[in-house]
Chains A and B, each alone.
Chain A
Amino acid sequence: MWNRLTLTELAQRLAQRETSASEALAACWDRIQQVDPVLHAYLSCDIAEARLQAEAADRALASGATHREQPLLGVPISLKDIIAVREQPLTCGSKLLANFVSPYDAAVTEKLRAAGAVLFGRLNLDEFAMGSSTENSGFGPARNPWDPSRIPGGSSGGSAVAVAADECAAALGSDTGGSVRQPAACCGVVGLKPTYGRVSRYGLVAYASSLDQIGTLTKDVRDAATLLGAIGGHDPRDSTSVPQPVPDYTATLEQGVRGLKLGLPKEYFVGGLDPEVRAAVEAAVAQFQQLGAETIEISLPHTDYAIAAYYIIAPAEASANLARFDGVRYGSRVAGADLLELYQRTRGAGFGPEVKRRIILGTYVLSSGYYDAYYLRAQKVRTLIRQDFLEAFGTVDAILTPTTPSAAFPLGEKSDDPLRMYLEDIYTVSCNLAGICGLSLPCGFTRQPRLPIGLQLLGKPFGEATLLRLAYAYEQATSWHREKPPLPHAPERA
């Protein structure tokens, strides 16, 4: 049962010696054995090494270490397999890196270790975080715990599944265009994408550097606040990390929402939005009004251009970032007659279809004769999109939208139609283009089949405390986050 607790609940039980880190890890491991053959949230798990960490945490607890100093002491946390953990695999969901072992820890890994977390397991993802369904994983898709015939969202699909199915207490993912928030919505958990620069990207394998940000997937909002507090902060090894103090996000959670202004962008409530999703989001709006928040209609006039701008800028950056995978310094190599052929064959054999698509697209929009028409124009449109948000935040404290236009779709439904897949990201990409923060939390279910629906809150740059406070107030007034997917329960441990 320890695997079913939130991070906060588990930390409390550990502090009260009602359980041990080793017991909590064992409960997660049992759960993985039970459900992961179907769900495939994990690509690998070095349980022997994790047990050593858990034993070390138990020794620390026995010798008087406290959760005041180390808020995650003994808590089992899993990371998306694109965040570096020393001596562990770092496949990025790519066959090209199937045998890569990380020689160093990411900044967030160091911070989680310092906070006492037990880090275990490498979570499934779309290859190099490119995708919205986890179907682009080089090692087979993850599946939605609410309906295994459906996608769990992506690219941090494994992270959302592992948290929703109680295979770990909490997880980290990365969000370039919605890759934390969209799977959180599909799986019925809380997904937080911090402001660009809030969390160090050192040790996060780069997809689109100006958009990538590490985020949290948790069972509730308080856990998100705790985890962001643990991983946030300036890091000189990431020159885009911002030297801004990290507040205690849990301290302001309970301040309520009375007097806060929520903006409802009229461009987000249009055709293409599933009626059940719309109804759930409208009910959430009513709930916020009841809690004392003010809601007003706003306009984000350039919303309609966000997908086009995103799918130029992100592939452009990806094509440059992925140039490093050339079969020389790391990864698998396919021999060739000369170096050029070695590069071409290595990359042709190592990358999956979506990664190739984005490399080609990115190379094209940056190529001579097309740069101004596509890339430069997209960067200018990015300015307009960012301006829309900054103007809106002059009037409102946060913006409320659906996270996705519909609930989780069946596997295979969009895998041969990249444009339709890209349009799935319509509500999430603007947040990354603008560099602001965003959070998705459960706000209801579709009727048949019963699938989670996500509510998105978008906040000002470094406005995470306000987002978490809003989300917490809503969560306390509803019970969606307590619902568990209809999977067999883990056997009780004595």
Chain B
Amino acid sequence: MHGTLRQPTSNPFQLVEPTVAKKDFDVSYVAHLARLELASAEAESLGRQLGQVLAYMAKLEELDVAQVEPTAHAVPLANVTRPDEIRPSLSNADALRNAPASNDGLFVVPKIVE
């Protein structure tokens, strides 16, 4: 299960050149996916910094991992289950105490159904 080292290739993600990085890495789109509002200056600097970070990540392309299994975690356990039984849990009041808005035992959010 050993990856063989091979010579660094030309950058496969084309992220080293800032212009290419910008085209490939659309901060506004990713911020939308992440439900994150960014000021334009913030988006600009994040885009530049992450372009550099992603260019660095390209070094993983040097490794041939075609025959390698992925590792999601390092726990020597699988399919941990517990009995399906009722147990004590947070009270309604405790669950709501940190809510920015609540009423009548419920979280309050803006209307989502017209």
Using a CB–CB cutoff of 8 Å, the interface residues on chain A facing chain B are 99-101, 103-104, 196-197, 210, 236, 239-240, 242, 301-302, 304-305, 307-309, 311-312, 319, 323, 326-333, 335-340, 342-345, 347-349, 351, 353, 356-357, 359-361, 363-364, 367, 373-374, 376-384, 386-387, 417-419, 422, 433-436, 461
B98 close to A357 (CB less than 8 A) = no
6 A/B residue pairs, CB under 8 Å, sorted by A:
A308-B57, A329-B107, A342-B110, A360-B31, A373-B13, A384-B2
Nearest Cβ in chain B — how far from A284, in angstroms? 27
B3 close to A384 (CB less than 8 A) = yes
Q: A364-B30, A373-B13 are in contact. Are A327 and B100 (CB under 8 A)?
A: yes
A311 close to B57 (CB less than 8 A) = yes
Nearest Cβ in chain A — how far from B18, in angstroms? 14
CA distance A76 to B52 in the complex (A): 44
CA distance A305 to B50 in the complex (A): 18
B69 close to A383 (CB less than 8 A) = yes
Q: A308-B59, A342-B109, A348-B37 are in contact. Are A210 and B82 (CB under 8 A)?
A: no
Report the tally of A-B residue pairs with Cβ distances under 8 A: 181
A387 close to B75 (CB less than 8 A) = no
Q: Look across to chain B and name the residue whose beta carbon is closest to the beta carbon of A363.
A: B34
Q: A311-B53, A329-B107, A434-B74 are in contact. Are A360 and B1 (CB under 8 A)?
A: no
CA distance A196 to B34 in the complex (A): 28
Complex partner residue of B68 from A236, A343, A383, CB under 8 angstroms: A383
Complex partner residue of A210 from B13, B56, B73, B101, CB under 8 angstroms: B73
Q: Look across to chain B and name the residue whose beta carbon is closest to the beta carbon of A379.
A: B70
B74 close to A386 (CB less than 8 A) = yes
Q: B5 — which chain A residues lie within 8 A by C-beta?
A: 301
Complex partner residue of A360 from B46, B59, B77, B100, CB under 8 angstroms: B46
B60 within 8 A of A: yes
A302 close to B3 (CB less than 8 A) = yes
Q: B71 — which chain A residues lie within 8 A by C-beta?
A: 379-380, 382-383, 386
Count of B residues near A, CB < 8 Å?
Answer: 56
B100 close to A331 (CB less than 8 A) = yes
Q: A329-B98, A336-B110 are in contact. Are A376 and B70 (CB under 8 A)?
A: yes
B30 close to A210 (CB less than 8 A) = no
Q: B36 — which chain A residues lie within 8 A by C-beta?
A: 344, 347-348, 351, 356, 359-360
CA distance A218 to B50 in the complex (A): 36
Q: A331-B100, A344-B37, A359-B34 are in contact. Are A305 and B63 (CB under 8 A)?
A: yes
Q: A327 — which chain B residues lie within 8 A by C-beta?
A: 100
Q: Look across to chain B and name the residue whose beta carbon is closest to the beta carbon of A378.
A: B60
Q: Which applies to chain A's interface (DSSP): helix, strand, loop or mixed?
A: helix
A357 close to B50 (CB less than 8 A) = yes
CA distance A197 to B99 in the complex (A): 31
Chain A to chain B: the 6 pairs with minimum beta-carbon distance, closest first: A435-B74, A348-B37, A379-B70, A333-B100, A330-B98, A103-B94
Nearest Cβ in chain B — how far from A138, in angstroms? 16
Complex partner residue of B112 from A301, A304, A339, A383, CB under 8 angstroms: A339
B97 close to A103 (CB less than 8 A) = yes
CA distance A309 to B71 in the complex (A): 11
B65 within 8 A of A: yes
Nearest Cβ in chain B — how far from A425, in angstroms? 13
Seed contacts A101-B98, A327-B100, A383-B70; 13 additional CB < 8 Å A-B pairs: A100-B98, A103-B98, A305-B63, A309-B60, A311-B53, A336-B110, A339-B110, A344-B37, A364-B30, A379-B70, A384-B2, A384-B65, A461-B76
CA distance A351 to B42 in the complex (A): 12
B72 within 8 A of A: yes
Q: B73 — which chain A residues lie within 8 A by C-beta?
A: 196, 210, 240, 435
B38 within 8 A of A: yes
Which residues in window 35-59 of B have CB below 8 A to A? 35-39, 42, 46, 49-50, 52-54, 56-57, 59
CA distance A262 to B68 in the complex (A): 28
Q: A343 — which chain B residues lie within 8 A by C-beta?
A: 35
CA distance A304 to B56 in the complex (A): 11
Q: A236-B82, A347-B37, A422-B53 are in contact. Are A103 and B69 (CB under 8 A)?
A: no
Q: A338 — which chain B residues lie within 8 A by C-beta?
A: 110, 112
Q: A309 — which chain B residues lie within 8 A by C-beta?
A: 60
CA distance A327 to B34 in the complex (A): 14
Q: A351-B36, A357-B50, A422-B53 are in contact. Are A196 and B60 (CB under 8 A)?
A: no
Complex partner residue of A374 from B57, B63, B82, B100, CB under 8 angstroms: B57
Nearest Cβ in chain A — how far from B13, in angstroms? 7
Nearest Cβ in chain A — how far from B106, in angstroms? 11
Q: Look across to chain A and name the residue whose beta carbon is closest to the beta carbon of B61.
A: A377
B70 close to A382 (CB less than 8 A) = yes
Q: B13 — which chain A residues lie within 8 A by C-beta?
A: 373
CA distance A345 to B95 in the complex (A): 23
Q: B74 — which chain A residues lie within 8 A by C-beta?
A: 196, 210, 386, 433-436, 461
Q: A242-B75, A386-B74 are in contact. Are A360 and B63 (CB under 8 A)?
A: no
